Structure 1
Amino acid sequence: MDTMFLMNSLWVMLGAILVIFMLGGFILLEAGSTRMKNAGHIAGKTIFTFGLASLVFWAIGYGFIFGSNGNFLVGLSDFFYSGYQVEDMGLATSVFFVFQLAFAGISITIALGGFAERAKLSVYLVFTVLFSALIYPVIAHWIWGGGWLAEHGKQDFAGSTVVHLTGAMAAFAATILLKPRIGKYNKDGSANNIQGHNQVFTALGVLILWIGWFGFNAGSTVAVDDGFFGFVALNTNLAAGAGAVSALIISWMVLGKSDIPTMLNGALAGLVAITASCAFVDTWAAVVIGFIAGILVFYSARFFEKRKIDDPIYALSVHGVAGVWGTLSTGFFATPELATVGLPGLFYGGGFTQLGVQFMGVAASGAYAFVVSFVILAIAKKLMNGLRVSEEEEIMGLDISEHGSYGYPELFVAKDQNVGS
């Protein structure tokens, strides 16, 4: 068998492993950013929903994205993917399938962040199935599967739109329908800061995500022969660093203190933003893209909080706003040498054409993800007697109310025993 075929397959498999390992980062990020009484629930539902999404992707999702007998809206073959080899991709197609499955799993994980600390476990189940079948695959086909946005030259190398904006808009629909957590807002409309229980978990989660992003972005080259994955990895790291620095600086300037959660979100925002453009822009532009993303995530979080959008893990700001900026950024910074898809950006003599395509892709994909998610959840709310646990269950925490055990049993069991004595 051809050596390059084997090397490409091994590289993409490594990328898939890194992307799947990002779920560990999300577990620590989400658990650390929320309260102790929900930590076990958040960890468990992340594993459960990834497993469920994997089955749906195997049965339906992959075929809707990459099915050869499709149209400009959706693919229509390769359902219940068999794993048989096709020799024209330059790597094992089963490896490519696993790589794409990992991306779908990350998108639903982002979406479910908008449900945190108040949604029923049954709602996670239903929405995971429908998101993985009807929302993510459709947008992925439009951009990556030869759909109508691909025909227009939409640039999204590793998924600022496909993965991150799609997940964020689903989270947005959930936050609206679920409404804020108990105690988040006062009667006068002012917001209370419901702090996460462990900043060390959150920081470690961000670091794991940062490392996993090299599989996300550099792995999307799906080849090793020209070493281009190294350039993509370099851009990815520079943007993350710039996002962390700018977020820290802006929080220091505005709040008078260097806010750690803001800095961590800045690093993630830089990663999300560079995901679309990492293969299309020069290194200096990667720094600019990440730096702007870090500032945007700070102001975006404040904007949504003032409008009573309770987003516990900042999915709208980190994955939504930064995803939009990252997607649009190629319309400014894509170079003639690197723009293997679409056209060069505005700053390289390409005019407004590519920027217009990028804006069209953001608008269409974001609207589709939001509207379909909202409709699904609104119907589920009617049929399932609400999306949200009861007030009593929310106060006691989803660990005990949904699963019958605590994520931190020594602490909570001891507290209960003291109350009863």
Structure 2
Amino acid sequence: MNWEPTYALLIFTSTAVTYVCGRLVEKYRDDKSRKKLFLIANLAINLGILFMFKYYNFINNTVFEGLDYLGIHWPIPNFDILLPVGISFYTFQAVGYSIDVYRGDIQAERHFGIYALFVSFFPQLVAGPIERAKNLLAQFYVKHTFNYPRAVLGLRQMLWGFFMKLVVADRVSMYVNAAYNNAEQHTGTTLLLATVFFTFQIYCDFAGYSNIAIGAARIMGFDLMENFRRPYFSTSMQQFWKRWHISLSTWFQDYVYIPLGGSRVKYGRHLFNLFVTFLVSGIWHGANWTFVAWGALHGTYLIVENVKTKYIGKSNTNNIVIMGFNILLCSVLAMAGWVFFRANSIGDGFKVLRKIFADHGALFIDVTTIAYGLFGIFVLVIKDFIDEFYPEKHLLFDNRHVVVRWSLYIFILAVILSCGVFDGGQFIYFQF
């Protein structure tokens, strides 16, 4: 409302429609035709609003360009509208609730205020995690009082989230923006470093936000779902998607992949379901062909990996050399996908890839950004490595020695204050 007051009507409409339809679906649960009708009306209204604000201009421009190429005039103008903050997140959260009620997995919420709080819960409203009703709704009926251990855990998680966002993401974004927004003027060497930096930027920007959101909710007594689990230590792309944006990947699994038939169909259809799910995931991220390409690329990764596993078998991840190779391979594949995710157009994405492979030269030097960025990435990788492989042997924030714990707190806080960027702008996923 502070940004654009009239856009508050959108979240109110989504809340009211899903609340009413949820009650009606439950009321007529024995009448399959009515129940399905209410669900379809619910989905049509909510996804229709999302389409108009997020995808209408993209579809209109695509049709216009196609017809213009054929010499046909397309007189329908674009809408001069801005994308409301968080619309994809709260729409998917509300739609997930509606489908859960339709399936009978949960009962429809009767208290409108409680349900409205579920849709608009402020820590995760604008960029997730996309919560499930079965996890969050019940927590609003519990009386929450101040709990010191929970507050400590929440503050720790927020502190690490601020480190990821301010020290890593916003610092390396300066180099990434300089390179990707002027790809024609830079060498493949510069673009390769920028792509490596963006690989950490997108992770730290979004995982940083998730840590801040989950930590803030935890201080108040609420448990939100984990959203990231050290994805760049994945040994397969399937595992990567069990560790990256977990709330969205499981949402697509439950509400797109499984309804399509999942893996309980013929093998060819199973692969098709995988590809469609990731294509839709790409489209969810934004109305641009770059996101479509990114989703299609990850869908292709999963298909190739699935076929390889079926006909050759899984890699022996107990072998440290093979595990290290698989981690490196998955990171490189993810990095190739991030090229299209960050590129301003499909053409720019292919231009960046071509230069990385065939046009190396002098590196664009920004000493402060590179030095601080590499230092932040080093600290991040060390912590993630310890949490991944030695979670109980080398305790960091959970160390039983108060001197060790507080030394780490002070160190992270000092690094944030001395190396952080405090005018880095909004979080990347706010635009989705």
TM-score normalised by L of structure 2:
0.32
**Highest relative contact order (Cα 8 Å, sep 6+), 1 or 2?**
1
Larger C-alpha radius of gyration, 1 or 2? 2
TM-score normalised by L of structure 1:
0.32
